[in-house]
Amino acid sequence: MDISLTPDTYTPSVNEKGEYIDKIPIIKNGLYCPCGARKDKIYKTNSNFCTHIKTKIHQKWILNLNNNKANYYVECIKMKELVEEQKKILVKLETQIQSKSLTIDYLTQQLANKNTSNYSNVDLLDLDSFNSIN
């Protein structure tokens, strides 16, 4: 099994005014920018990424982030609520699975006990000869 390093995802910094700004991070395993300028492009060097952040599409993305800060905050709150609801659902489903698993184990054990104590082994192929006697 080969180990592969995944590139980091670029996130802009926030200045003292609360605005998103570009700050070039240290690139170790490559850097992916979610601005949409070049889909699936991995920037390997600081100079390549520096050139990228000067593009119109990237600049427009930063401007859009700054213009929609309140919307992103509301969306973040909604996502946190959704995650909490999903966690509760998962716990409920896990509890149901455990309960059903215990029921299956119990019934299997009951069936095994009933088969060993109440019934002798019957050769179903010999039932014809049994029926002819009766």
- The secondary element (H helix, E strand) that includes residue 28 is none
Task: Give CA 103 to chain center in angstroms.
Answer: 30
| Each residue's pLDDT tens digit, 64-121 | 999 998 898 899 999 999 999 999 999 999 999 999 999 999 999 988 887 776 555 6
pLDDT tens per residue across span 8-26: 999 999 999 989 999 999 9
In sequence order, what are the residues at sequence separation of 6 or more whose Cβ sits closer than 8 angstroms to the Cβ of residue 30?
Answer: 5, 7, 8, 42, 43, 44
Q: What is the pLDDT of residues 34-59, one digit of tens each?
A: 998 888 899 999 999 999 999 999 99
Would strands 31-32 and 42-43 be described as parallel, antiparallel, or unpaired?
antiparallel
Q: Are 59 and 22 in contact (CB under 8 A)?
A: no
Give the end-to-end CA distance of the chain in Å, rounded to a whole number. 67
**What's the whole-number mean pLDDT along residues 125-134?**
56
Q: How many CB atoms lie within 10 A of CB 53?
A: 19
Instruction: Assess contact for 49 and 33: CB atoms under 8 A.
Output: yes
Q: Specify the pLDDT at position 101.
A: 96
